Amino acid sequence: MFKVDPSRIDLAREFRAKPFGRHSDELQRILNFFRSDPVAHNFCVVCTKPHQEWALARFRATSREPVDLLGPVYGSLEDAEWDIFKLRWRRHTGQALEID
């Protein structure tokens, strides 16, 4: 089974610098792993004002139910995605990312 190496902070920095677009093979492997978690209770980003505002949310038990908005609200999609990356990193490594 694939595991995320918590010492690979370089891959977290790569994501922070470029959250969208092509990634290195190693970072893409981690992103695929993070995104393969079951939908139930997984984190997501919700656009609350088109092209202006995004918020952290969490899926409920099924995808038919509305998500629970968790906040905070972000002025950029990149910042929201970074916080989700950090939450998933902690979930899969047991360690918080101490970089911004």
16-26 average pLDDT score: 96
pLDDT for residue 58 is more than 80: yes
Instruction: Identify which has the larger pLDDT, 63 or 37.
Output: 37
Do 15 and 27 touch, CB atoms closer than 8 A?
yes
- Pairing of β 53-58 and β 68-74: antiparallel
**Per-residue confidence (pLDDT) for residue 10, from 0 to 100:** 97
Reported confidence tier of residue 2, pLDDT bands at 50, 70, 90: confident
Secondary structure element (H or E) that encloses residue 32, with its range: helix 25-35
Whether the CB-CB separation of 46 and 54 falls below 8 Å is answered with yes
pTM score, whole prediction: 0.90
User: What is the arithmetic mean of pLDDT over 51-69?
Assistant: 93
Smallest CA-to-CA distance from 14 within 24, 5, 4, 6 is with 24
Q: Distance between CA atoms of 54 and 40, rounded to whole angstroms?
A: 20
